[in-house]
Amino acid sequence: MKKSTKFFAVLFIIGLLFTTACTNSANKDNEPKDEGSESTGPTEIVFWHAMSGAGQEALDEIVNDFNTSQDKVKVNAEFQGTYEESLTKFRAVGGTNDAPAIIQTFEVGTKYMIDSGFIEPMQSFIDKDNYDLSQLEKNILNYYTVDDKLYSMPFNSSTPILLYNKDAFKEAGLDPENPPKTFSEVKAAAEKLTKKNGDNTEQYGFSMLTYGWFFEELVATQGGLYVNNDNGRSDDATKAVFNGEEGLRVFKFLDEMNKAGTFGNFGTNWDDIRAAFQTGKVAMYMDSSAGTTNAVKTAPFEVGAAFIPHADEVDSNGVIIGGASLWMSKGIDEAKQDAAWEFMKYMATPAAQAKWHVKTGYFAINPAAYEEQIVKDQWEELPQLKVTVEQLQATKPSVATQGALISVFPESRQQVVTALENLYQGQDPQEVLDKAAAETDRAIEVANKTKKN
C-alpha cells in the first residue's frame, strides 16, 4: 500500500471514531437521568397504600398538598388493594430496588415486617435527624415500638368504641348520658333495650362484629395478654394465653346475652352490623373509632359514644391501637429513603393530621392537630369524636394495651372468629376458646421454626 493510501485510511478511521464518540455522547444526553438527580428535579418515590373510598380521597389530597408545598420530593401514591393483598405484593419485591419507598401495613403485620429484613426502622432516621418523638401520641407510638426502637411511623390509627342509640335509651327508661361501663351494666341495659314481637326480635340490645380485633380489645382492657412472653414483647411468643380468665370472661359475657336473646349476631361483615344499627335492629354495638363520623351523620336518631365495656372484676385499662402504619423499605436508594422520611415527617404535622382526622375519623398521631380550628369546628358538631380521643389518651400503658406481636396474627384472628361462631351455636365457651388457642399455638410454632431456619 502506498503512503498516501495509508494516510487517508488513518484519517478515515479517526473520523469514524470521532463520529461514533459524538453519536454516543448525543445518545447519552438523550437518556433519562437517575431519579432525583439535580438536573431532573425532585426525587420521585412510590407509596403503596390500602386506603379506598373517603380514605383514599383524603390521602390523595394530603399527598398533593405535600407535593405542591416543595419541589425536592414527589410522592406517587398507589392503591394496592387490601392490606393482605398489598403485603403479598410487597413480599415479592421487598429488599430490592423494585420495592416501594413506603408501604402501609396493618398493625397485625408488625411482627412480620420486623422479621422480614425488608424494612429500615424509623428509629434510624429519628436519631439521625434528632426528630422529637414526644410531639406524637405516646399510646399510638407504643404499639410500633419494640425494644425501645420505633419501627414504623403511625398513620391511620383507630380503636374500638361503643356506639348507642340515645333515643332507644330514653324509650327504655335508661339515661342516654350515662352509658353502661361494665359487662354486667351492658347486659342489664341490653335486656331493657331488647324488643320482641312474639317469637321475633325487633331490636336487640347489644351486638359485636364477629371479628378477632374486638375480642383482643376486650381482653386487653382487663389487662389480659393475648400471647406469652409479655405479649411477644420481651421475646418471641410461643403460646397463646387469650383462653385464660380474661378471655373466658369475654366469651361468657357474649354467651349469656346470646342465650338470653339480647345479643344480635350480624356476622362478620362491617356493613351488615352498621346497617342493623342504622335501622334500629340493635341499640348498642362496638365499632371502629374511624366509623364514628359516618354513624353519627347517617343515623335517623341521636347517637352516643362511650368507652368500650370492661369486666366487673377489674378497672378499665384502655385500648390497643388498631389501623396501620407506614414502613420504610430497605435496599432502595438512599436518596429515596431520605425523600420518604421527609414525606413521613410532613404527614405527622398538625395541619396534615388535622385534615386527616376531620376527613376520615382516624386519630391524629400528633395531638397538636386537635388544636387546629378545623378540628375544633368538627368536634363542636360531632362531640362523639372527642370521646374516642379521650378513651385513647386515658389508656394505661402496659404490655397488655401495647398489643401482641406475632407474625401469624391473621391466622389467629380467624381461629377466634371460628370460636365465636361456635359459641353462638351453643358450644361451651372454654372449649371453643381452648381450641382457638391450640390452633394459634400450632401456627406460632411453625412460624418460629421457619424464622430460625
311-351 pLDDT, tens digit each: 999 999 999 999 999 999 998 999 999 999 999 999 999 99
Same domain, 46 and 71: yes
Same domain, 174 and 266: yes
* pLDDT tens-place string over residues 215-258: 999 999 999 999 999 999 999 999 999 999 999 999 999 999 99
* Cell numbers linked to 171: 324509650
- CATH of residue 153's domain is 3.40.190.10
Same domain, 196 and 304: yes
Say whether 189 sits in a helix, a strand or coil. Answer: helix
Same domain, 424 and 334: no
Q: Specify if 255 maps to a domain.
A: yes
Is the pLDDT score of 24 beyond 50?
no
Same domain, 176 and 299: yes
List the domain range (segments joined by +) for residue 64: 40-157+322-384
pLDDT at 453: 59
Beta-strand pair 282-288/195-197: unpaired
Same domain, 95 and 82: yes
Q: How far, in Å, CA of 5 to CA of 100, rounded?
A: 60
Q: How far, in Å, CA of 86 to CA of 80, rounded?
A: 5
First to last CA, the chain: 72
* pLDDT tens-place string over residues 359-386: 999 999 999 999 999 999 999 999 999 9
Same domain, 286 and 414: yes
Q: How far, in Å, CA of 285 to CA of 186, rounded?
A: 10
pLDDT class of 170 with cuts at 50, 70, 90: very high
Number of domains within the chain: 2
Is the pLDDT score of 39 beyond 90?
no
Same domain, 418 and 371: no
* pLDDT tens-place string over residues 95-109: 998 999 999 999 999
Whether the model pTM is above 0.85: yes
pLDDT class of 40 with cuts at 50, 70, 90: confident
Average pLDDT, the chain: 92
Q: How far, in Å, CA of 148 to CA of 388, rounded?
A: 27
CB 156 within 8 A of CB 55: yes
Q: Specify if 231 maps to a domain.
A: yes
Bigger pLDDT: 419 vs 4: 419
Q: Specify if 3 maps to a domain.
A: no
